[in-house]
Amino acid sequence: MPSNSPKPALLGLQEPRVRALPLSRTDTLIDDVLDICDLANIRCDPWQEGALEATSSIDAEGQWAATEFGILVSRQQGKGNILLPYELAHLFLWPREDGAPKLIGHTAHEGATAREAFRRARRAILASPILRAELVGGGRQTAQGVTGISTGNGNWAIELKNGNRLIFFTRTGSAGVGISFDVLIVDEAQHSPLTILEALLPTTDASPNKQVLFTGTVPKEDQDGEYFEGIRDRGRIGGFERTGWIEHTPVGSDDPDTAAKIDLGDPQVWREGNPGLGIRLAWKTVQDDWDRMGQTNPDAFSRQRLSIWPSRKAAEAVKLSDLDIEVWKRHADEDAAVAGDGVVLSLALGRGGGYGTIGAAVRVDTESIAVEHIHTAAQTRWIAPMLKELKAQYGNALVVLDAKNAAAVIGALDAAGIKYLAMNLDEIAAAHTLFIEHVNAGLVPHRPQDEVTRSLELATTRNIGRAGVTWEQSDPTKPVSMAQAVTWALWGVLKSEASPKKRMPPPPRAAVVARSDVARDEFDLASARF
C-alpha cells in the first residue's frame, strides 16, 4: 500500500491522458492568464496551467479556437484554479472587439457550488488593489456592501467600470432566458439535463466570439449527462474544428473491455485519475476512499475518484436493426429528389449537439414516399437560418423533430419564428417502425446518397420505455443523425396526411330583415349596414 508521500516514480507533471485541441488553433493567450494569476495571487499547478493554456487557444483571426471545451477531472483536484483565472482573464483582460460590455456566466447545478465560486472570485478581486480599483465605484465599502459586487435574488454578480460583468447562478429551466452571454462556464456538467441546456446554450449564440467551457466528473446513472457525454465523444475522436477536450483518466478507461480490467487499487492508476494527487489531494485520502469503497462499492470509487467513463460499447453488426439495407440500396434513383408540394423537413442533432442534420420527405404516389438528406454540418448556429430558408423555399414546409434531441437549438428556432412539430416518445417509436416497414416494402425511393446508406448500415436501436425502439449509435464514431432525419421526415409526411385539414368557416347565410323585425326606436332600415 502507498505511504502518505508520493512514490518517486509517480512524481512530476501529470499530463492528461486525452488532450484534444481544436483544429483552428494557431496560438494561445496563456501569458495573459498567468498575468491575471499574479495579480490575483492565484498559484496554479502545472496540470492546471496546461488546461488554461488549452482553453485560451485562439485561431488565425484572434477568435477563440474552441467554441466548446470540456474538462473531465475527478473531485478535489483544484478545478477552481482553472475556472477562476479563466473567468478573471475574460472579465479584466479580454474585451469584446466591438467595445460593448462583456458578460460572463458561471452556472452550477448546486446553489452551494455557484455561491462558493462567487466567493472565491470576490475574495481574489478584493485582495488585489489593482483588480479592486476596476470595480464599479472602485469597490468601496458602503452600508449596502461593496460597490461593484451584488448578491441579490439568488444571482451573484461582479461588475467593472467598463460594464463587463461576471455572474454566478444555479441552473434552472428558465436559466439565462433573456440574457446574452459571451462566455459561459457550465460547472458540474455531469448533471446538465437537455431540458435545461435548451434554455441555456442559445444564450451565447448572439456573441461575435463565444465560448462555452464544460467542467465535470463522470455522471451517475440517474444523472442526465448526455450533452457532456457528446463533448467527451467528440473529444476522444478528435479532429474537430471548434471542439476541445481534456480528461485525466487511467490508461484504457475509455474502452469498455479494458476499463473492466483496470486494477482500481493500483497507485499508478490513482495517479492517472488524480492530477492533484500528492499536491492538493493527500495519498491517505485516496487510500481511505479505497479502503472504504473498494469492496463494497468499487463502481463508485472508479467513477468518483478515478473518472473511469468507458465509451458506449459497439453493437454487433448482425444485430443492428431490422432494416433490409439491400432493399434500401435497390431503390436508389437519381430522379428521386424531394421536391414539389407537401415537402416535410426534419431536424436531428448528434449526441451533445455537436452537429446537426436536416432531412426531407415528400409523397410521390399513393404508396411511395421519397426521402433525402439535405445537409449535415458541425455545430448548430447554421441550423435555424437554413431551416427558415428551406421552409420558405418549400412553401412553409412542416418541420418535425424530437424536442429532447434538438434541445440545444430549440431557443434559436423559436427566436427565428420557426414553427415545428415536436414528436413524443410514442411518435418517435412509430416513426421508426413505419420507416422500416416502408423501406422493406420497397416504398422509399431516394437519391443515391452514400452517407445516408452508411448511417443506416451502422445504426442500431435502443428501447424508449414502453413506446418501442428508435435509432441509436452503435458506437460514438458512427453518427445516426442522417438515419434519424430521413426516418422522422417520412413520419412527418404520414402525420400531415392523417391530420384533419382546417376548413374555412362557411360565409353567413343571407337573411331578409322585415320592418316588423326592427323596433320603433332602432335605426331606419334604409341606413342598416350588412
pLDDT bin (cut points 50, 70, 90) of residue 530 is very low
Cα–Cα distance measured from residue 472 to residue 393, given in angstroms and rounded to the nearest whole number: 31
* CATH code 3.30.420.240 region(s) in the chain: 317-498
- The SS3 of residue 26 is coil
Cα–Cα distance measured from residue 437 to residue 91, given in angstroms and rounded to the nearest whole number: 56
What's at 392, amino acid-wise? A
Cα–Cα distance measured from residue 182 to residue 203, given in angstroms and rounded to the nearest whole number: 8
pLDDT bin (cut points 50, 70, 90) of residue 520 is low
Tens-digit pLDDT profile for residues 455-495: 898 888 888 867 788 888 766 566 789 999 999 999 999 99
* pTM of the shown model: 0.66
Cα angle, residue 71 at apex, residues 268 and 259 outer, rounded to 5°: 40
**97 has pLDDT over 80:** yes
Distances (CA, A) of 120 to 85, 124, 127, 378: 11, 6, 11, 36
**411 has pLDDT over 70:** yes
Cα–Cα nearest to 201, from 226, 176, 232, 218: 176
pLDDT at 175: 56
C-alpha cell at 317: 453488426
Eight-class DSSP state of 365: S
pLDDT at 3: 37
Q: Are 91 and 162 in contact (CB under 8 A)?
A: no
Higher pLDDT, 484 or 10: 484
- Classify residue 59 as exposed, middle or buried by CB count within 10 Å of its CB (0-12, 13-18, 19+): middle
- CATH for the 18-247 domain, from 3.10.290.10, 3.40.50.300, 3.50.50.60, 3.40.50.150: 3.40.50.300
Higher pLDDT, 244 or 461: 244
Q: Are 356 and 387 in contact (CB under 8 A)?
A: no
Eight-class DSSP state of 419: -
Least confident of 82-91, 174-183, 187-196, 448-457: 174-183
Tens-digit pLDDT profile for residues 125-134: 999 999 999 9
pLDDT at 368: 94
Tens-digit pLDDT profile for residues 28-84: 999 999 999 999 999 999 999 999 999 999 999 999 999 999 999 998 898 999 999
H helical segments located in 338-397: 383-393
- How many CB atoms sit inside 10 A of residue 275's CB? 27
pLDDT at 502: 55
pLDDT bin (cut points 50, 70, 90) of residue 249 is very high
Cα–Cα nearest to 405, from 179, 108, 197: 197
**21 has pLDDT over 90:** yes
pLDDT at 266: 94
Cα–Cα distance measured from residue 61 to residue 109, given in angstroms and rounded to the nearest whole number: 34
pLDDT at 525: 44
Cα–Cα distance measured from residue 244 to residue 352, given in angstroms and rounded to the nearest whole number: 14
Architecture of domain 317-498: 2-Layer Sandwich (3.30)
pLDDT > 70 fraction of the chain, expressed in percent and rounded: 86
- Give per-residue burial for 390-401: e unless 16+ CB within 10 Å, then b: bbeebeebbbbb
**152 has pLDDT over 90:** no
Distances (CA, A) of 224 to 120, 139, 194, 218: 28, 40, 8, 11
Q: Are 430 and 491 in contact (CB under 8 A)?
A: yes
Average confidence score pLDDT of the chain: 86
* CATH code 3.40.50.300 region(s) in the chain: 18-247
